[in-house]
Chain A
C-alpha cells in the first residue's frame, strides 16, 4: 500500500522539476528565438529586394485558388513602389514548403527564397541551394524542364526531385499572378 502513495509522488516530483527546468529554459530562449526568426525573415526579404522598405499588405481578399498565399509585402525604395514579396506555402514531396518570391512591378522575378520545408535531404532539400534558386533571377514566366535548361524561360529541375522543383516553379508563376492582382487594386 505504501507504493500506492510513494510511486506517484516520486513521478510527480520528477515531472515537477523537469517542468520547472523547461519553464526557465523557455523563458530564457524565447526572445533569442523570436529574434532569430525575425532576422531570418528580414534576411530573406533583403535578399529579394536589397535596401528596401517592406510594408505588409492587409486584407488581401484573394480568390480561392490563392488561399495558399500567406502574406504579400509591398517593397519600396525611397518611397517608390518597386515590387512585391509574395510568401506562400506549396505542397512539395514531403509536406508544405514555405516560399518567398520577389516580383518587380513589371512581373520580373528578383529571387526565390525557400524557407522551412521537410523535403528529402540531399534531394528535394537542394531546392534552397543557389544552384537552383539562382536560375529564377531576372526571368518572367518560367517552365520546368528535366536536364539542362536551354530556352530563356526554362528552369532546370533538381535531379531526382521533380516534385519539389515543380512546386517551386508553380509557386513563382502563381506569385507573378498574385502580384499582378494586388497591383491592379
Chain B
C-alpha cells in the first residue's frame, strides 16, 4: 500500500483534480471570480470530500456493488446539505458569496470520483488522507485561478486594491471566457514545467 504521505501529495501534485485530472471544472469556472470565493468553495468541498470518503470507506463492505452509486450520492448530498445549513447559520457572509455553488458541490465530480476510485477500495484512514489531499489540491488550484482572475479582471486581490487606479481592469477575465483562457495558460505552463522536469 502506498504511504499516507504519498496519498496526500497525490491529490495536490500528481493527480491535482483541476490541473491534472480536469475534474470539477464547472464550479471552478463559476466561483473563481474572486480569490476569497476560491478559498471558501475549496474548503467547503474539502470538508465534504473528507466526510464522504470516510463514510464510503467505512461502509464499503455493507453497500452492495450494484447500488453503490446511488448510495454514494445520498451520502454526498447529505454532507453537502449539512455544510450548507451550518454555513448559513454561522457564516452568513460566506454563505451569501457562495450562494448557488454550495448545492452544486453535490454534482462536483471530484467527490463522486474519489468515492468510487479510492474510498470504496481503501481503508478509512487512507480515504480521509486522500480526501484531504484532493480537497486541498482543489482549493489551491481554484484559489490560484481566482487570484489571477481577480487581479487581472478587477485589479484587486482578496478584496484589496493591488493595481493602481490607472489600471483599467480587463473585464473579460471576470467572465467565463476569460476563466477558460487563464485556465488554459496555467495548464500549458504546468505541462511545460513537467516536461522539463521529466
Contacts and interface: CB of A to CB of B under 8 A. Distances in A.
Contacts of B13: none
Interface of B: 31, 33-34, 37, 59, 62-64, 66-67, 70-71, 74-75, 77-78, 81-82, 85-86, 88-90, 92, 96, 99-100, 150, 153-154, 169, 171, 174-175
A116 B99 CA distance: 9
B33 A121 contact: yes
| Interface core residue of B67, B89, B90, B154 (most chain A CB under 10 Å) | B89
Contacts of B171: 122-123, 159-160
Contacts, number: 72
Nearest to B96: A116
A33 B81 CA distance: 14
Interface in A10-36: 10-11, 14-15, 18, 21-22, 25-26, 29, 32-33, 36
A25 B79 CA distance: 10
Contacts of A121: 31, 33-34, 37, 174
Contacts of A159: 169, 171
Question: Interface range on chain A: under 10, 10 to 19, 20 to 34, or 35 or more?
Answer: 20 to 34
Contacts of B86: 25, 29
A40 interface: yes
Contacts of A18: 74-75, 77-78
A6 interface: yes
A120 B30 CA distance: 10
Interface of A: 3, 6-7, 10-11, 14-15, 18, 21-22, 25-26, 29, 32-33, 36, 40, 116, 118, 120-123, 159-160
A11 B71 contact: yes
Given A118-B99, A121-B37, A7 B92 contact: no
Contacts of B59: 14
